[in-house]
């Protein structure tokens, strides 16, 4: 269920008596940390009120395909793009038939056509309807198209019949949906990720630092966890909660980040250095707060910090080592230089001259540079980008 944390789930509800269970499902998904947008078909509204689902999801419920108000806010295409998963529970026989035929005559079926996210159905219907050859053919065809079916279960039905067709219990649906986020690409791998800025103290109250928010590194940690890895996140000071199912080590300075990295490097398979580490630190840290003097100019004496990623890449049993290169010009060229100089396996070139990407933004666009390839990855959220980067890194691991 922890895999649902921060997931964006469209919960589709179609017309069926099991729709009452969707209230509990919404509560469970929200409780597991997912952001839930509920979409109801006209028939679903006959079984449960949108108000109940609005209260439980904390979001307005989406009912109509052609809703000018919704289109001005989160329209159907935005909703289709927003979703990490479209989970339809209950999925009626009629909805399965329409989905299988590619209909787009209501909001929910249109979303299924427009989304690139996985579509998951929890069928619910009378046992005879489920057994009907056409429903069976639809179920098989939908699965062939990559749509996942959860259930249905077998047992007593609301109509008094007994047999297959019951919607699974909300807890089973939520846990099976959560399990679908584990893509298993890094199962059994240990991943260490550095994230955020470092702070290099001048005195007890002042430091040198940078604008790194940690968002990129934390998104990578989440993506690696979702891929099944055991993750240690070595983080500079940031205002982000620790990802679940991850060991987080908080540090301040570059020297502390190096020490924490080396302490966690045993049996590490992949090291990803996304932290913005200060290249220099004050040569001495004043014991007391530095006082303002008469001088107009104050000179700081700085010494070079150890290079964490290069130190890791130079280890005898080095892990697959990935660096980031934050550059404001000649981005790919400088990244290639760092790749070779620091003896890395891969480097992610990040243009930090743009205010819409890089430091402290929610989005990013990068170029993945290896020794034989240059691969641009276009603008998207740091979360989506992290998933792509983890896919690329995972593909380079020995199986
Ligand atoms: O944290 P966010 O706000 O989400 O922003 C993300 C980011 C812009 C910080 C991130 O995407 C990024 O580009 N991180 C690398 C920043 C950086 O310090 O780049 P660099 O080119 O100076 O360093 C090259 C590589 O060496 C990096 O992997 C860095 O972690 C590493 N390094 C640098 C200096 C040092 N002393 N030790 C290091 O390990």
- Copy the structure tokens of residue 32: 């597991």
pLDDT value, residue 30: 94
Which residue is it, tokens 């019951």?
A: 166
Q: Which residue has the higher pLDDT, 350 or 70?
A: 350
Taking alpha carbons only, the member of 245, 227, 238 closest to residue 196 is 238
Q: What is the pTM (predicted TM-score) of this model? A: 0.68
- The residues spanned by each domain of the chain are 2-179, 190-396
Task: Measure the CA–CA gap between 88 and 147, rounded to whole angstroms.
Answer: 11
In this prediction, residues 324-330 reach a mean pLDDT of 94
In this prediction, residues 342-359 reach a mean pLDDT of 93
pLDDT value, residue 2: 57
Q: Would you say residue 142 has pLDDT above 90?
A: yes
Ligand 1 atom 31: the closest Cα is on which residue? 309
Q: Would you say residue 121 has pLDDT above 60?
A: yes
Across 305-360, where does the E strand assignment appear? 320-327, 346-351
Given the residues 159, 246, 268, 380, select the one marked as catalytic: 159
DSSP string, 87-141: EEEEE-HHHHHHHHHT--SSHHHHHHHH--S-EEEEE---HHHHHSHHHHHHHHH
In this prediction, residues 122-148 reach a mean pLDDT of 97
Computed over every residue of the chain, the mean pLDDT equals 94
- 3-state secondary structure (DSSP) of residue 235: strand
Q: Ligand 1: list residues with CB < 6 Å.
A: 194, 196, 212-217, 254, 273-277, 279, 305, 307-309, 323-326, 338, 350, 352, 358-360
Helix (H) or strand (E) holding 210: none
Task: Measure the CA–CA gap between 175 and 4, rounded to whole angstroms.
Answer: 9
Taking alpha carbons only, the member of 18, 89, 24 closest to residue 47 is 18
- The atom of ligand 1 lying closest to the CA of 311 is 39
| pLDDT digit string, tens, across residues 198-235 | 999 999 999 999 999 999 999 999 899 888 899 999 99
For the chain, give the percent of residues with pLDDT over 70. 97
How far apart, in Å, are the Cα atoms of 97 and each of 37, 125, 196, 384?
23, 13, 49, 31
217 with 275: CB under 8 angstroms?
yes
Say whether 112 is catalytic: no
pLDDT value, residue 66: 76
Task: Please name the fold of domain 190-396.
Answer: Rossmann fold (3.40.50)
In this prediction, residues 265-287 reach a mean pLDDT of 97
Ligand 1 atom 35: the closest Cα is on which residue? 307
pLDDT band, very low/low/confident/very high, at 77 (cuts 50, 70, 90): confident
Phi, psi of 208 (to 5 degrees): -100, 135
Residues 6+ positions from 149 with CB-CB distance below 8 Å: 120, 121, 122, 123, 139, 142, 143
pLDDT band, very low/low/confident/very high, at 322 (cuts 50, 70, 90): very high
DSSP state for residue 353 in the 8-state scheme: T
Q: Ligand 1 pocket: which of 194, 199, 212 to mutate (most atoms <8 Å of CB)?
A: 212
pLDDT value, residue 71: 62
Task: Please name the fold of domain 2-179.
Answer: Rossmann fold (3.40.50)
In this prediction, residues 51-56 reach a mean pLDDT of 97
β pairing state of 206-208 and 200-203: antiparallel
pLDDT band, very low/low/confident/very high, at 336 (cuts 50, 70, 90): very high
pLDDT band, very low/low/confident/very high, at 4 (cuts 50, 70, 90): confident
Taking alpha carbons only, the member of 125, 124, 91 closest to residue 109 is 91
34 with 5: CB under 8 angstroms?
yes
């Amino acid at each position: 269920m922890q895999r649902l944390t921060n997931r964006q789930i469209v919960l589709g509800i179609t017309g069926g008596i099991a729709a009452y269970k969707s209230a509990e499902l919404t509560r469970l998904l929200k409780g597991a940390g997912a952001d839930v947008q509920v979409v109801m078909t006209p028939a679903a509204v006959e079984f449960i009120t949108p108000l109940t689902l609005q209260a439980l999801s904390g979001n307005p419920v989406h009912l109509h395909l052609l809703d000018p108000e919704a289109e001005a806010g989160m329209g159907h295409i935005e909703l289709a793009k927003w979703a990490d998963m479209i989970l339809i529970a209950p999925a009626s026989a009629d909805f399965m038939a329409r989905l299988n035929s590619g209909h787009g005559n209501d909001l929910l079926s249109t979303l299924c056509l427009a989304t690139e996210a996985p579509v998951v159905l929890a069928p619910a219907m009378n046992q005879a309807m489920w057994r009907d050859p056409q429903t069976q053919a639809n179920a098989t065809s939908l699965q062939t198209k990559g749509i996942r079916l959860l259930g249905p279960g077998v047992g007593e039905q609301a109509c008094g019949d007994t047999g297959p067709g019951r919607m699974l219990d909300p807890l089973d649906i939520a846990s099976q949906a959560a399990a679908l986020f584990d893509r298993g690409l890094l199962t059994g791998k240990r991943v260490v990720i550095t994230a955020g800025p470092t702070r290099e103290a001048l005195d007890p109250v002042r430091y040198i630092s940078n604008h790194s928010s940690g968002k990129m590194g934390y998104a990578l940690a989440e993506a690696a966890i979702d891929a099944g890895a055991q993750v240690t996140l070595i983080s500079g000071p940031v205002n982000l909660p620790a990802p679940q199912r991850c060991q987080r080590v908080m540090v301040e300075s570059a020297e502390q980040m190096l020490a924490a990295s080396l302490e966690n490097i045993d049996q590490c398979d992949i090291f990803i250095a996304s932290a913005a580490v200060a290249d220099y630190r004050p040569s001495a840290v004043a014991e007391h707060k530095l006082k303002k003097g008469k001088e107009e100019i104050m000179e700081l004496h700085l010494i070079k910090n150890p290079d964490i990623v290069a130190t890791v890449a130079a280890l005898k049993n080095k892990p697959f080592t990935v660096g980031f290169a934050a550059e404001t010009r000649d981005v790919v060229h400088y990244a290639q230089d760092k790749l070779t100089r620091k003896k890395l396996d891969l480097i992610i070139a990040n243009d930090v001259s743009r205010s819409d990407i890089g430091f402290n933004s929610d989005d990013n666009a990068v170029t993945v540079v290896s020794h034989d390839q240059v691969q641009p990855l276009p603008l998207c959220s740091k979360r989506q980008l992290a998933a792509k980067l983890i896919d690329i890194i995972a593909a380079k691991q020995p199986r």
